[in-house]
């Protein structure tokens, strides 16, 4: 019998716990002075494997080192991740390792799992330790709250300066079988390509070998979480963990599964950029015509990270010169007379030279997208063609506003 082709990936409710067998919880344990949810737990099925990518900063939180070590030692055989918000537990010396291991050990006892199968992530203020007794006192309640509909509370519990939670799930039918992918993330400031101050988690109810899963996840990250920028800063705690569990699919369908992983991750990545601290609009940069996709990605990320471009967006100013200038310093060999540039549907540059355009109409287009940063698929789009090559890439970011300065001048969340 000929296998049926997979269906399209369609959004569904449920977030991180939509895939079969996953449970989550989020509670208040007193880690935040605001009294909001601050402790989350994600539990995967028995056969799960986990792959991760982490901050590339040389100054790293203890939990990042612990996660990387555990994933390597156990070939991804991980079932649970504990997440606290409020304190980064970074840059406080050996105490950070002591506290992280203590939390992992206690949680392992509550779950009846070996410590090798439990990870921990932290997010919050750098240089602040976790109030450990409050965290430990909350573990019993956290475990008892685990539920296959607990994704929403978990997504709320990992937030810091975020204005909205970030979660999504997609569903497809692969050879007659329902397959689901779920995700949740946090991130608002300190966001820059190479993993930023973000935490993100993904679940999938298709079984994939650890080596293949790790390779797939790295490709997905490069085109999602490593393609966003809010403010040009990276942090100490950035972590992305992706779980695979369940019956495998035929190899011929793995490309379709990876498409679902990318769709989920790009949704979350754009949600992070859309919720940038003080941001008013989502900015999308499309680069075409490069010799390689990596060249295109480098140009897109350079433009999206430019403070001059971001402030022009904030002022609804179609200042194409700033975009072209950022393109030129991306480190990719280019010929200026091959550059074409559009903002929205308006072309501003052709073959490296300015063309007549109605500045007021372009500015009005930019204004229309302002303050709509929480609407899906609504962004200020800049399209740049730099040659005749087949390499292309997309990056996402946001405008840079005075509100960003206010938020980060007194960050106590």
pTM equals 0.85
Taking a C-beta distance cutoff of 8 angstroms, is the pair 181, 174 a contact? no
Domain spans, the chain: 10-274, 282-409
Angle between helices 320-328 and 293-304 (to 10 degrees): 130
Reference 239, options 35, 61, 375, 41; nearest CA is 61
Angle between helices 132-144 and 94-111 (to 10 degrees): 20
Residue 259 dihedral angles phi and psi, to the nearest 5°: -60, -40
Q: Which two tokens stand for residue 77?
A: 């055989």
Taking a C-beta distance cutoff of 8 angstroms, is the pair 127, 91 a contact? yes
Q: How far apart are CA 121 and CA 3, in angstroms?
A: 40
pLDDT for 367: 87
197 catalytic residue (yes or no):
yes
pLDDT for 245: 98
* Strand bridging mode 380-385 / 282-290: parallel
Q: How far apart are CA 185 and CA 125, in angstroms?
A: 17
**Cα dihedral 288, 302, 54, 91 in deg (nearest 10):** -170
pLDDT for 228: 80
Query: What SS3 state is found at 264?
Result: helix
30 exposure class (CB count in 10 Å sphere: 0-12, 13-18, 19+): middle
- List the catalytic residue out of 160, 197, 203, 234: 197
Residues with Cβ within 8 Å of residue 132, at least 6 apart in sequence: 99, 102, 103
Taking 70 as the pLDDT cut, the residues of the chain under it are 1-3, 188-197, 230-234, 276-279, 370-377, 404-405, 407-413
Q: From residue 301, give the alpha-carbon distance in Å to each of 193, 263, 338, 396.
A: 7, 19, 20, 8
Q: Which two tokens stand for residue 317?
A: 């100013």
pLDDT for 194: 47
**The residue to which tokens 């549907």 are assigned:** 345
Of the candidate CATH numbers 3.10.20.30, 3.30.465.10, 3.30.565.60, 3.60.70.12, the domain formed by 10-274 belongs to 3.60.70.12
CATH class of the region 282-409: alpha beta
């Amino acid at each position: 019998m000929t296998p049926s082709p997979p269906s399209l990936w369609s959004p569904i409710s449920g977030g991180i716990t939509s895939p079969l067998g996953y449970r989550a919880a989020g509670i208040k344990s007193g880690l935040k002075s605001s009294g909001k949810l601050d402790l989350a737990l994600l539990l995967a099925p028995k056969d799960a494997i986990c792959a991760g990518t982490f901050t590339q900063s040389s100054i790293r939180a203890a939990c990042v080192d612990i996660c990387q070590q555990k994933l390597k030692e156990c070939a991804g055989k991980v079932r649970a991740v504990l997440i606290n918000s409020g304190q980064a537990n970074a840059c406080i010396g050996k105490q950070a390792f002591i506290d992280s291991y203590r939390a992992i050990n206690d949680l392992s006892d509550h779950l009846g799992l070996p410590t090798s199968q439990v990870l921990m992530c932290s997010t919050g203020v750098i240089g602040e330790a976790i109030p450990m007794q409050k965290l430990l006192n909350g573990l019993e309640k956290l475990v008892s709250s685990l539920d296959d509909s607990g994704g929403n509370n978990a997504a709320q519990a990992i937030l810091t300066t975020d204005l909205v939670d970030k979660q999504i799930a997609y569903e497809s039918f692969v050879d007659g079988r329902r397959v689901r992918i779920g995700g949740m993330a946090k991130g608002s400031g300190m966001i820059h390509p190479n993993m930023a101050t973000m935490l993100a988690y993904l679940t999938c109810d298709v079984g994939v070998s650890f080596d293949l899963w790790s390779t797939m996840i790295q490709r997905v990250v490069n085109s999602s979480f490593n393609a966003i920028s809010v403010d040009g800063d990276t942090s100490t705690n950035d972590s992305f963990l992706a779980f695979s569990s369940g019956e495998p699919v035929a190899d011929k369908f793995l490309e379709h599964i990876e498409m679902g992983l990318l769709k989920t991750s790009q949704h979350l990545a754009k949600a992070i950029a859309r919720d940038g601290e003080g941001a008013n609009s989502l900015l999308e940069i499309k680069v075409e015509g490069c010799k390689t996709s990596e060249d295109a990605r480098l140009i897109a990320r350079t433009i999206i990270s430019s403070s001059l471009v971001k402030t022009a967006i904030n002022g609804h100013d179609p200042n194409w010169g700033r975009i072209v200038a950022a393109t030129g310093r991306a480190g990719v060999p280019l010929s200026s007379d091959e550059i074409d540039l559009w903002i929205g549907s308006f072309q501003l540059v052709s073959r490296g030279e300015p063309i007549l355009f109605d500045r007021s109409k372009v500015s009005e287009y930019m204004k229309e997208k302002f303050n709509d940063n929480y609407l899906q698929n609504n962004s200020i789009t800049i399209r740049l063609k730099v040659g005749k090559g087949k390499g292309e890439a997309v990056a996402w970011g946001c405008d840079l506003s005075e509100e960003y300065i206010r938020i980060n001048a007194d960050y106590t969340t």
